[in-house]
Structure 1
């Protein structure tokens, strides 16, 4: 497609040609020409949000959910700096995101102009590639390189465009999508033979289903059955992996560590499980199967990377006739049954304030199987990990960067990407206050998102960590508003739950409203 316009027109046309449907961002004078160009076309929408950091989170989680390139934009100076926290999430957790920032005019670069700083020096920390466009003729090749880098590395890439370069004339053919499509081959690194020997020699195996495992869940379940292995579901795979399987121990973490974790003689990690690996005993043999060599952990005794589905299929074929330890199988089954009985007992716990574990167990029966659940960062995630067994839900959370306040922006990115699916954000009160302004974005764009707030007036994780380290907790107490009134002032619906008996009905009402809703749940501190 031939473009006659300016550089901003070219950027939008090219991104649209590659399948980009929206850009998340905040208006800034350095990107005035880009916003002006948005009004001259209808293929890409500009999603105006309240803060640049949230725009980057939205792009990061849209990309993580879809696997496609997502884009965010900001002005120069403080706007560009504000993007960085959200972009770091994409960089650390492997989401293909392109960040476009405005820059001061070319003649002002390095001349002490307001809002000027060396963007490449800063973005180089959290972008696989960063460049600045100084001539219109270089923009297209720079855009291709940045996009290919983001997609090839499942990472963040960044380009700076000075305000006057945005506005310069451009007459050029766009580049077809084939130039930026990354067709990975089933390249294998590692030895399946060596890995097979370790697996066959294991008498007490456990399997941790990580992020990649979501895409090959049927193979994962077959491997669990073939090995008689206990299944641990990583946070990012929760909901997608055999929630009701008889060998599914669920998630692990500070709220729950099954004794078999220390009894296992081999732990097989499928995909990435950055949180769960912290709890693996150091003397246990660990093997890993992953789609990318760079995501293989250093402490593995054997590992293999490549097309995970093909690798698991091959492994299963070679394990045919494998006999497993029946005593280990029965021990796993007993633990699973015991845990389910404990959760069933918790589901009828009617103490007040509400137990956060009670809340999570009740959500099992309320949240639709096709829903997308975006989790913020906070102590509630431990209880979610313990109590939510799920069906086929998609769980979005920050695996390595773990920035507080990411939950609601992640839900917004998910809702734009999959508007037909139910989307729920769960956050603690401490996390929600850092991104609560984006409830206005939900209202502005009529996004049917339900926000569940676990309210206990405290940063519980930090308090408990300080206590564990023998320190006197300080700075952990929260002053938070009436979230119900806040929601209503934004134009959303607001509900408060104080009685455990009200959880079911109130949650169902909020989830079925067809408009933005917020549910404040008054919970016990621990």
Structure 2
């Protein structure tokens, strides 16, 4: 039986687990908007700016690990999506962007609001195609969703306004997607080589990124066997810091001397699931080993001597039985003592508080940390808000923190909080916005009110 392309798109999104589409309604999106209304199993979230929709969809995808979805109509609607899509793509968020275009008969005429979606979105997506026949659209959407979910990034499908109302009964590809999670482990020989290196070293530091978020218990076990301090990136703080007696804080632009020193003073630095961008903070005179699920990242940020491809949880499970317990804990004790001094200095601003006229922002952040629930979701704008959040918001094992950690955008916190609150209505969501960031997308306070 023939169905409109718009109906097929909406049905496939529902089948893939998408709960809502963030978009501003426009002429070329009207068919899809109406298909959402008639379907009844998916929600259309009317944001006031498409950038908000892209940030919100990216936040959803990062929190639940599935697909987020946003849309933009011809011309300006496409351009408005760009910043949020860049952030989602660089954050590893699986986002589908529906870019509805002008009617196909006007392509190439410099028509009103015409944009070239293939050129426009190419740098911020893993998949970017424009359908020109009714039969292509569902096939492209299936491919887009499959790629977004498996490669962890953005996929864009362009749909001309007239095509959305066209009908077809041909189904040449699967109507559903296949997440296909994989466990990847280095070879036995590589693991044995790494174990030998670690077993013969005395001063070892583990440096963990967001790629290690699912391996908390394994990290703590390995650190205990090696008497190794654990440093981490800002993005992975909420997943690595809690219930971790070996943690010594962060390094990098927002980091602490204790995290930096523990990495530079080690004989062996083991980097786990991190593509840390700040090369100037990386040590150069010790042995560095990097483990990452994406082999393309090995060695591009640091002068590593060994690079292994594997997901961190599977890799550590295989590595731990090969590790000999270390008796010497002098290096660990020194790093933990230095970390205690750093934390004491950081607490100075909290203890002083400031005056009634001038309150230290560090004190404010410490109060938020104390009042926030155990499973709160925080979103932080880029800038000083990140600095205070990095240093004064503490992990519990249930809290999450989102920011524009790779793209470094302004105005991300409030729209990310919209996505978080809609996806997890039973959890407390705290948006920590800079004054500049909030004012850039101020109109979407209306979205927050509209959807309670």
Counterpart position of 1:333: 336
Matches within 5 A, 1:336-485: 336-352=339-355, 353-392=358-397, 393-446=399-452
Matched, 1:301 2:302: no
Q: Which moved more, 1:396-405 or 1:160-169?
A: 396-405
* CA shift digits 1:476-504 (9 cap, x unpaired): xxxxxxxxxxxxxxxxxxxxxxxxxxxxx
**Contact kept? 2:142, 2:174, Cα under 8 Å:** no
Deviation at 1:344, TM superposition (A): 4.3
Q: CA RMSD in A?
A: 2.2
Counterpart position of 1:96: 94
- Secondary structure at the residue paired with 1:405? coil
* CA shift digits 1:77-99 (9 cap, x unpaired): 01111111111112222111111
Of the three residues 280, 284, 287, the one matched with 2:286 is 284
Question: In 2, distance between residues paired with 1:312 and 1:83?
Answer: 39
Counterpart position of 1:252: 251
Question: In 2, distance between residues paired with 1:324 and 1:120?
Answer: 58
- Secondary structure at the residue paired with 1:341? helix
Question: In 2, distance between residues paired with 1:248 and 1:185?
Answer: 26
Matches within 5 A, 1:28-427: 28-171=26-169, 179-186=177-184, 188=186, 191-243=190-242, 245-254=244-253, 256-258=256-258, 259-274=261-276, 278-298=280-300, 299=302, 300-319=304-323, 321-352=324-355, 353-392=358-397, 393-427=399-433
**Contact kept? 1:106, 1:162, Cα under 8 Å:** yes
Question: In 1, distance between residues paired with 2:202 and 2:365?
Answer: 34
The structure showing larger relative contact order (alpha-carbon pairs under 8 Å, at least 6 residues apart) is: 2
What TM-score do you get using the length of structure 1 for normalisation? Answer: 0.79
Task: Give unpaired runs (5+ residues) of structure 2.
Answer: none
Question: In 2, distance between residues paired with 1:177 and 1:310?
Answer: 32
Q: Which moved more, 1:33-42 or 1:243-252?
A: 243-252
**Contact kept? 1:234, 1:273, Cα under 8 Å:** no
Question: In 1, distance between residues paired with 2:279 and 2:203?
Answer: 18
Count of equivalent residues: 443
Counterpart position of 1:476: none
What TM-score do you get using the length of structure 2 for normalisation? Answer: 0.92
Deviation at 1:34, TM superposition (A): 1.1
Question: In 1, distance between residues paired with 2:179 and 2:337?
Answer: 48
Q: Which moved more, 1:437-446 or 1:243-252?
A: 243-252
Counterpart position of 1:508: none
Q: Which moved more, 1:353-362 or 1:40-49?
A: 353-362
Question: In 2, distance between residues paired with 1:324 and 1:62?
Answer: 44
Q: Which segments of structure 1 move beyond 4 Å, counting only runs of 4 or more?
A: 172-179, 275-278
